[in-house]
């Protein structure tokens, strides 16, 4: 068979891993692989390249995606063009690694194009799967940064607000904040009380704590307030880009408490690290599973992670609304038992 490979949306550590593993498994079985470049742009503009074993050997440890990606190209309103261009590629089917934007963009082709889906996002907010690759790596970046920042916060008796990615979901802030025992973790799913946060900070200060770390998801907001949107990206399926909450909070906290405050935005560093071992294993297994699904003709399905195992699920499962943190998630309870503000 001739199989197309496409990566769409924001990159995530582990994407190259799933590409290496899928290509290895397919090429070893005698299939040929066509790389579709720069996400949906590759289909619309006919940007492709044949992939050999040599192209993919060893790429698993690199962040990014060697095929290129884009989170700016929507398929809406261009459905017929998409189908025509796809047909020109002469493929038996396509493996698509993407997030909610990518799969929403494929909804219209669910019946007409043979697709196998691979869920991907550092945000961990894709429905249908319990964990996505890239998430563990992003949490490690946050935890290491928060741990490192505590040293300078303690040295200067400062409070530092660390802003994480995640859009409307608090998974990265929660995972990374908990792993680094951040003093406070602010996530969109649990709008915080301004008075309670200030009281918590004042108490810690009164107890003699030198430095403090607050991890805030970019989509976090106080009760009855809206998340800060920094700017919009024209053409993007999800055009809002969240940002600014750490700076706003740092200035407000300093004013309210007198505790000298700074802010750090981790931004795209969360997508740029080498994948952790957990993410590597996940993607390595996923690629092998994808190749098996192709040979079984399981088009219209996705490889997902549920209850500790990889399994197959209808592609539609990835198209459901975002999977947010349950406000009483067990990690929230853990944070509370450890005396963190959440």
Q: What residues are labeled active site?
A: 123
121 lies in the binding site for ligand F6P (CB under 6 A): yes
Q: How far is the CB of 255 from ligand F6P (least distance, A)?
A: 27
Half-sphere exposure of 68 (CA within 13 A, CB side): 15
Rule CB under 6 A: choose which of 4, 6, 8, 10 binds ligand F6P: 10
Rule CB under 6 A: choose which of 24, 158, 271, 301 binds ligand F6P: 271
Could you tell me which residues come within 8 angstroms of residue 251 by beta carbon, excluding any fewer than 6 positions away? 261
Please say whether the beta carbons of 41 and 7 come within 8 A: no
71 lies in the binding site for ligand F6P (CB under 6 A): yes
Buried b (16+ CB within 10 A) or exposed e, 309-337: eeebbebbbbbeebbbbeeebebbeebee
Residue nearest to ligand F6P (CB): 165
Nearer CB in complex with ligand F6P: 132/180:
132
Nearer CB in complex with ligand F6P: 15/113:
15
Helical (H) or strand (E) element with 232: strand 229-232
Could you tell me which residues come within 8 angstroms of residue 21 by beta carbon, excluding any fewer than 6 positions away? 60, 283, 284, 285, 286, 287, 288
123 lies in the binding site for ligand F6P (CB under 6 A): yes
165 lies in the binding site for ligand F6P (CB under 6 A): yes
Q: Which stretch binds ligand F6P (CB under 6 A): 15-23, 163-171, 296-304, 322-330?
A: 163-171
Q: How far is the CB of 242 from ligand F6P (least distance, A)?
A: 6
Q: How far is the CB of 77 from ligand F6P (least distance, A)?
A: 21
Q: How far is the CB of 272 from ligand F6P (least distance, A)?
A: 11
Could you tell me which residues come within 8 angstroms of residue 29 by beta carbon, excluding any fewer than 6 positions away? 291, 295
Rule CB under 6 A: choose which of 35, 42, 128, 166 binds ligand F6P: 166
Cα–Cα distance measured from residue 314 to residue 333, given in angstroms and rounded to the nearest whole number: 32
Please say whether the beta carbons of 284 and 21 come within 8 A: yes
DSSP-based three-state secondary structure for 154: helix
Which residue ranges make up the site for ligand F6P (CB under 6 A)?
A: 10, 71, 99, 121-123, 165-167, 218, 233, 241-242, 271
């Amino acid at each position: 068979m001739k199989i197309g490979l496409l990566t769409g949306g924001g990159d995530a550590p582990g994407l190259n891993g799933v590409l290496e593993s899928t290509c290895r498994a397919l090429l070893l079985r005698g299939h040929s692989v066509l790389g579709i470049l720069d996400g949906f742009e590759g289909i619309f503009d006919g940007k492709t390249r044949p992939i050999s074993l040599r192209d993919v050997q060893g790429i698993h440890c690199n962040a990014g995606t060697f095929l290129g990606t884009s989170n700016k190209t929507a398929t809406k309103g261009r459905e017929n063009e998409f189908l025509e261009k796809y047909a020109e590629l002469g493929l038996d089917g396509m493996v698509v690694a993407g997030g909610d934007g990518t799969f929403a963009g494929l909804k219209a082709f669910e019946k007409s194009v043979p697709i196998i889906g691979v869920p991907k996002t550092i945000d961990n907010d894709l429905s249908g799967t319990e964990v996505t690759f890239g998430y563990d790596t992003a949490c490690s970046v946050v935890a290491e940064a928060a741990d490192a920042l505590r040293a300078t916060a303690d040295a200067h008796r400062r409070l530092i607000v660390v802003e994480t990615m995640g859009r409307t979901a608090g998974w990265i802030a929660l995972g990374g904040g908990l792993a680094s025992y951040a003093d406070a973790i602010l996530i969109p799913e649990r709008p915080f009380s301004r008075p309670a946060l200030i009281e918590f900070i004042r108490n810690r200060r009164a107890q003699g704590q030198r430095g403090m770390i607050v991890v805030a998801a970019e989509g976090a907001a106080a009760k009855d307030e809206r998340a800060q949107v920094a700017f919009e990206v024209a053409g993007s399926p999800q055009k809002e880009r969240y940002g600014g909450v750490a700076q706003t909070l740092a200035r407000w906290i300093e004013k309210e408490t007198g505790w000298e405050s700074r802010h750090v935005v981790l931004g795209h560093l969360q997508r740029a690290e080498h994948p952790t071992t957990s993410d590597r294993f996940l993607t390595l297994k996923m690629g092998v599973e994808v190749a098996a699904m192709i040979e079984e003709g399981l088009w219209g399905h996705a490889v997902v992670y549920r209850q500790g195992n990889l399994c197959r699920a209808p592609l539609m499962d990835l198209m459901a609304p975002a999977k947010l943190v349950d406000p009483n998630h067990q990690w929230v309870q853990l944070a509370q038992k450890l005396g963190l503000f959440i």
